[in-house]
Amino acid sequence: MSILKSISWIIWIFSSLALAAYLLFELAWSEDKSSFLIGEATHGHHQIELACSTCHTSPFGGGEVIQDACVNCHAQELSIAEDSHPKAKFTDPRNADRLAVLDATQCVTCHLEHQNEQTRAMGGTLADDFCWHCHQDIASERPSHEGMGFETCASAGCHNYHDNKALYENFLVKHAGEADLFMPAMRPLRDAVTEYLTDNPQTKALTVADIQPVEAPAEVFEHWQASSHATVGVECRDCHQANNSDWQKKPAIQVCQNCHEQEWQGFSQSHHGMRLSDKLSQSLSPMTPAQGRLVFQSDSLEKEMTCSTCHGPHELDLQKAASESCLSCHADDHSLAFEQSPHGQLWQQELAGEIAQGEGVSCATCHMPVVEQGGKHAVSHNVNDNLRPNEKMLRSVCMNCHGLAFSIDALADQELIKNNFLHAPSLHIKSIDMAVERVK
């Protein structure tokens, strides 16, 4: 009996050591750290859930460590949104009693990770009526709100906790009565090549005769010759031998970053590219559709998301990147309905040359809008920047072509979003009506 006991102890000790060794290896060297997850991450963070140190920056310390991690990633976004509930708003001692119930100075009060069973829209983990804690008397202050449940505050066209730039009262009143559709549309365009040549007038466009001999198929030179790279004087060695390195058949993504810093900043903040950001590229491989939570084309699941996934390295076909590249991966209802939608039909007309450039509407028109950066127009490569809450699309996208009321109604209609805006919205949000009535 004692021998059996000894054997049992030996087996237990060796099993424990083996398990400890495995966990140590996974923690220190393996990319797959799923054994340490305490629960599923939210939609916004699941791509990086195995890079634990991104949020858990120190094994010691309390909530302030997580708070700093949140701010490190989201401070710029909140600044651009002109955060309507910044931390400074709650430092007034008169709010101490409220903070004892709902500490609005800490992100994790509302956004608690690894609690997917209670996670709601926008990664919130509080009950939807959390506004009640501070706004219990809103009905007495504004009769228009009488009878409304507090779980409706964040409905489309009303309030968003952080970003109310397109929903505050003066803005709603200013844009009341606008037409459903503006003719012509006012979508801003970007001509990056013209901007570059204006800033660098000494630039010489290159031909095949200008570059050093390179062994490559003839079609590679044909594609390059017709690209903006050739127009602005970028040749083979600028990418394949960047910084005087040895010849690289497939240049690293950092080579793109050398010239396209703004685009890189957006891409590395997006769901497509966040795993390649400076903080994570050493520990995580590029994102693939198989790791996503949407519906994707079956033959795209193992595609790695890098710059060249959407942009061919030589042909640089921006029209292809604006729509075809998206639909080669995405297979959700909204994406599949695009080509038959009014937007998709306009895009086909633009591709066919039947309407002017900029009058069509591609996937990129809405999800990668042209924005102003440093006095110039640039394409936002953060494809999920305006998705949550989707009212963020109002100012930067929808209102280039549509009136505010129509846009608010459209973004509130979930079935309409699903069929890619195939018809006019069937819902009406009363936010503008209420704002106009209040200022009378």
- Residue 234's nearest CA partner among 307, 320, 318, 313 is 313
Tokens of 338: 């695009």
pLDDT (tens digit per residue) in 352-405: 999 988 889 999 999 999 987 777 788 999 999 999 889 999 999 999 999 999
- Cα–Cα dist 317/85, whole Å: 42
Task: Give ∠ CA 410-413-414 in degrees, rounded to 5.
Answer: 130
Cβ neighbors of 416 (< 8 A, separation 6 or more) are: 410, 422, 423, 425, 426
The helix-helix angle for 404-412 and 431-439 (nearest 10°) equals: 140
Q: Quick one: pLDDT at residue 31?
A: 64
pLDDT of residue 112: 92
Q: Give percent of the chain with pLDDT exceeding 90.
A: 55
Q: Quickly tell me which residue has 């397109």 as its tokens.
A: 166
Q: Does the CA dihedral 137-138-141-144 come out positive or negative?
A: negative
Helix (H, G, I), strand (E, B), or coil: what is residue 377? strand
192 secondary structure, DSSP code: H
- Classified as helix, coil or strand, 238 is helix
pLDDT attached to residue 150: 92
Q: In the predicted model, what is the mean pLDDT of residues 39-52?
A: 88
Pair of tokens at residue 431: 């936010």
Q: Where are the alpha helices (DSSP H) in 81-131?
A: 96-101
DSSP string, 103-121: -TTSGGGT--TT-GGG--G
Element (H, E) at 6: helix 2-28
270 closest CA partner among 42, 55, 427, 47: 47
Question: Is residue 46 within 8 Å of residue 275, measured between CB atoms?
Answer: no
Q: What is the pTM of this model?
A: 0.87
- Evaluate whether 397 touches 369 at the Cβ level (below 8 Å): yes
Mean pLDDT of the region 59-66 = 82
Write out pLDDT tens, residues 241-286.
988 889 999 998 889 999 999 899 999 999 999 999 988 877 789 9
DSSP annotation of 180 reads: S
Bridge partners, residue 378, by sequence: 371
Mean pLDDT value across residues 323-331: 97
User: What's the chain's Rg over C-alpha atoms?
Assistant: 26
Structure tokens at 418: 């699903």
Q: Are 394 and 163 in contact (CB under 8 A)?
A: no
Return the residue matching tokens 């990664």.
123
72 vs 42, 65, 204, 316, 374, CA distance in Å?
18, 11, 41, 33, 22
* Whole-number average pLDDT of the chain: 89
Q: What is the mean pLDDT of residues 73-88?
A: 90
The C-alpha angle with vertex 267 and arms to 332 and 222, in degrees rounded to 5, equals 90
- Range 259-279 burial, b when 16+ CB lie within 10 A, else e: ebeebbbbbbbbbbbbbbbeb
pLDDT at residue 434 greater than cutoff 80: yes
pLDDT score recorded for residue 423: 95
Over the stretch 328-363, which tens digit does the pLDDT of each residue have?
999 999 999 999 999 999 999 999 999 988 889 999
Given this model, what pLDDT does residue 1 score? 55
Tokens of 421: 């805006």
Contacts of 415 (CB under 8 A, 6+ apart): 426
438: helix, strand or coil: helix
| Residue type (1 letter), 17 | L
pLDDT tens string 159-176: 899 998 888 999 999 999
Which residue shows structure tokens 């769901």?
A: 271
